[in-house]
Amino acid sequence: MHIPDQPKRRKFLKIASAGSIASAAGGFPSLFVSNQAAAQELLGGETFSTLTKIARDIFPHDDFNDELYAKAVAIYGDQIKENPDLGKLLINGVASANAAGMKQFGKPYAQIPDEKSRLVILTAMTSTPFFAKVRGDLVVSLYNQPVVWGKLGYQGPSAEFGGYISRGFNDQNWMNLV
């Protein structure tokens, strides 16, 4: 009696792994989409870029590029999936900023070149749930980026190195800039 050749264990695992990855990729394409792409898709590109401009205006730093603000706004990609009402809040808030820009300056918010003029619009919105939500989220999402830490002179978490006492406790200079 002839027994057919059995596939080797290593070959079997290789084939099985490839099948699992392929089915996971087909079944869960959102695993391979960045938060920024998801946020742009869910909010719309124009709303996303206006939120990025609003983020810069709420927390202005001349030496931060727009990419840092876009990453901060990208947190909404996951949040809107879980809470569709948040998407409505953000879209309506941007629409209100655009309407105020059109009424006061003849341009949508992001197209107003003068930062002081945009701040007039934001100041009028400070008591809205939209402004409170965006400002509250940005405190974490903008300032929790390691690139931002370096730009501000923050060395990052120090617990694993014994704390700040022996790691530059008094050598900060960013508070002197205020």
- pLDDT tens-place string over residues 77-133: 888 888 989 999 999 999 999 999 999 999 999 999 999 999 999 999 999 999 999
- 2 in any annotated domain: no
CB 38 within 8 A of CB 79: no
- 167 in any annotated domain: no
Angle between helices 129-143 and 66-73 (to 10 degrees): 120
Residue 175 pLDDT level (bands cut at 50, 70, 90): low
Rg of the chain (C-alpha set): 24
CB 99 within 8 A of CB 91: no
- 22 in any annotated domain: no
Q: What is the pTM of this model?
A: 0.72
Q: How much is the pLDDT for 166?
A: 67
Domain count, the chain: 1
Buried b (16+ CB within 10 A) or exposed e, 72-87: bbbbbbebbeeeeebb
- 161 in any annotated domain: no
Question: Residue 80 belongs to what domain range?
Answer: 32-153
pLDDT tens-digit readout, 3-57? 555 544 444 444 444 444 433 433 333 333 457 788 778 888 899 999 999 999 9
